[in-house]
Amino acid sequence: MANEITYAVSIQVSKGGASISSGTMSDTIDMAGVDMGTVTQAIGTTNEALDVPADVSGDVHLVVKNLDSANYVEIFKDSGNSHLLSKLNAGESCSLRNVPAASLYGRANTAACQIQFWICET
């Protein structure tokens, strides 16, 4: 089968009379793996591994949403918190492509944050 994964991204900014818009860019790609999942997880203020479903492995596509109303959460590609992938303020989300499932970590600021993430093998 082909074209199992669809992405769409865009950015629009307007401030002080200036504005930009990327329009919507979409991409449909093949999925070599078969495993996927969605997880809701509390992320504490110390480094912790994301609860990636056991069958999901290798490089993955990942969408993360910070469900907290006040604090930010950081997503890292290593347990030492030296490879920051994204810093999500309250309510923000991000999309990451081709990242290693086995080394995804989170850390909240000030207090624990609930996140939700959607993950699939590449």
Each residue's pLDDT tens digit, 23-35: 999 999 999 999 9
Q: Is residue 13 part of a domain?
A: no
Residue 14 has pLDDT above 90, yes or no: yes
C-alpha closest to that of 103 among 35, 50, 40: 50
Residue 8 lies inside a defined structural domain of this protein: no
In a domain, 78, yes or no: yes
Residue 82 resides in a domain: yes
User: Is this prediction's pTM over 0.85?
Assistant: yes
Q: Has residue 70 got a pLDDT over 80?
A: yes
**How many domains does the structure of the chain reveal?**
1
> Could you tell me the CATH number of the domain that includes residue 115?
2.60.120.10
Q: Is 66 within the bounds of a domain?
A: yes
Reported confidence tier of residue 2, pLDDT bands at 50, 70, 90: confident
Would the pLDDT of 111 be above 80? Answer: yes
Residue 121 pLDDT more than 90?
yes
Nearest one of 34, 49, 60 to 118, comparing CA atoms = 60
Average pLDDT over residues 92-102: 96
Say whether pLDDT at 49 is over 90: yes
Q: Which long-range contacts (CB under 8 A, 24 or more apart) does 86-89 make?
A: 88/64, 88/115
Whether residue 68 is contained in a domain is answered as: yes
Residue with tokens 């401030």: 15
User: Quick check: is 1 in a domain?
Assistant: no
> What is the arithmetic mean of pLDDT over 7-33?
95
Judge whether 96 lies within some domain: yes
| List of residues 6+ apart from 95 with CB closer than 8 A | 7, 9, 61, 62, 63
What integer best gives the mean pLDDT of the chain?
96
Has residue 5 got a pLDDT over 80? yes
Residue 108, domain extent:
31-121
Going across the sheet that includes 105-108, the strands are 48-49, 105-108, 73-76, 84-88
